[in-house]
A = this chain, B = another copy of it.
Amino acid sequence: MPGSRGIDGVRLLGRLQALGAVGRGPDGALTRLAGSDADKHGRDLVSGWMREAGLRVEVDQVGNLFGTLDGSDAAADPVMVGSHIDSVINAGIYDGCYGVLAGLEVAQRFAETGAGLARPLTIAAFTDEEGVRFQPDMLGSLVHAGGLSVEAALASVGTDGATLGDELARIGYAGAMVPGTIRPSAYLELHIEQGPVLEHEGVRIGAVENLQGISWQRVTIEGDANHAGTTPIRMRRDAGLAAARVVTFLRDHVDASNAPTVATVGTMRFEPDAINVIPSRATFTVDLRDPDEDRLKAAEAALAAYLDRLARQDGVTVSTERLARFDPVIFDEGLVRRIEQAARARGLSCRRMTSGAGHDAQMMARLAPSAMIFVPSVGGISHNPKEFTEPADLVAGAEVLMDVVAELCGG
């Protein structure tokens, strides 16, 4: 049994494993996409644990799930601790789930130890943070922060053709509460780093002071389907070749830019997709990120200029569609300082850092002073079954969270 200054690490780790077992396919791979049956089972598990911890459970119209521990000051806005439990395809068990379950553990410890908070403490699991099935990503927190209407969110069409609204109703998580009803006084998100910096430097806690801007586009290139054996090279309009040129251009561009810009082409599709037919169409996505808005715009402009040149040189038709665009975010300086102080008070090494990934905190920063706490990711690996954080680091992060929440809630 932990002391009143600690969390129950065994319980937290056990819940991470239990939630991580939900959504395994026949091959053992974890895929818990938003609105899926696996998402329903994960939500059932988490909301059950919330009730067990004595939290009041609420679900809003876009499926955001909240569990609140009441404080003595009924009029005070709550401190909110959140993240998400949807996953990418073939995912690890920590991304998102760690933040939700650590928040739940902190609330449960406060309830068990009779800490007597002044402000309420709300634990949030936001819908569709990953954006793999429904776009945009960070959908639930974006709606909560007023950046997207409930109607638009529910009408979002998934990669499988289903709408989010239908899927939430189907799995029983289309709630009645209007999104944004719970207005936090501060928002904290604890997360695995998903990158290699903390491990590489041997630092235990990251106090996240800003977050990269994100630009997602879908690019479609159209050429001519034609016979692979009889069409002379000079007469081809090969959409697949043009797409490959864009992929290598993006790498060359970021290699040459001497900036932290990253570019990724994660999806690619050729049509008609036959061995002996020159592709008439190639469709792919481009993910560009940079902590600096001007540099992010410059990368977008360089891509647009390259696509123009490619259309002229290869005789192909190029169109682009914006899938998501979020400016870089600067987190609340006061909260970042509290995180540093809490880490120091527990004897944990700490550094300020940038979040390379998008997180719900990015959206919540529009509503309330926000910041994030990172713990090391072994090998920097995430969005991968090999995603791993040492148990001691998971517990340490949750205890820093507990200390900052205790200060913010008061009482």
A287's partner among B233, B275, B280 (CB-CB below 8 A) is B275
Contact check, B277 vs A254: say whether CB atoms are below 8 A apart. Answer: no
Contact check, A358 vs B266: say whether CB atoms are below 8 A apart. Answer: no
A230's partner among B235, B241, B356 (CB-CB below 8 A) is B356
Contact check, B240 vs A214: say whether CB atoms are below 8 A apart. Answer: no
Q: What residues of chain B lie closer than 8 Å to A238, measured between beta carbons? A: 251, 264
The answer, yes or no, to whether A346 is at the interface (CB within 8 Å) is: no
Task: List A149-195 residues whose CB lies under 8 Å from chain B.
Answer: 193-195
Q: What residues of chain B lie closer than 8 Å to A380, measured between beta carbons? A: 226, 230-231, 235
Q: How far is the CA of A268 from the CA of B279 in the complex (A)?
A: 10
A232-B196 contact in complex given A285-B275, A384-B224, C-beta closer than 8 Å: yes
> Which of the listed residues A137, A224, A226 has the most CB atoms from chain B within 10 Å of its own CB?
A226
A248's partner among B212, B228, B244, B255 (CB-CB below 8 A) is B244
Q: How far is the CA of A276 from the CA of B273 in the complex (A)?
A: 23
Task: For A270, give the chain B residue with the smallest CB separation.
Answer: B268
Contact check, B270 vs A229: say whether CB atoms are below 8 A apart. Answer: no
> Which of the listed residues A212, A260, A267, A356 has the most CB atoms from chain B within 10 Å of its own CB?
A267
The answer, yes or no, to whether A311 is at the interface (CB within 8 Å) is: no
Q: State the interface size on chain A (CB cutoff 8 A).
A: 68
A137-B276 contact in complex given A232-B196, A240-B247, A255-B233, C-beta closer than 8 Å: yes
Q: List 29 A-B contacts (CB under 8 A).
A: A89-B272, A90-B225, A132-B275, A137-B276, A193-B230, A195-B227, A195-B230, A226-B383, A226-B384, A227-B383, A228-B264, A228-B287, A229-B287, A229-B289, A229-B356, A229-B357, A230-B356, A233-B251, A238-B251, A238-B264, A241-B247, A264-B276, A264-B277, A265-B279, A266-B275, A267-B273, A276-B287, A276-B357, A276-B358
The 9 closest A-B pairs by CB, nearest first: A195-B230, A230-B356, A244-B247, A228-B264, A244-B244, A229-B357, A229-B356, A227-B382, A89-B272
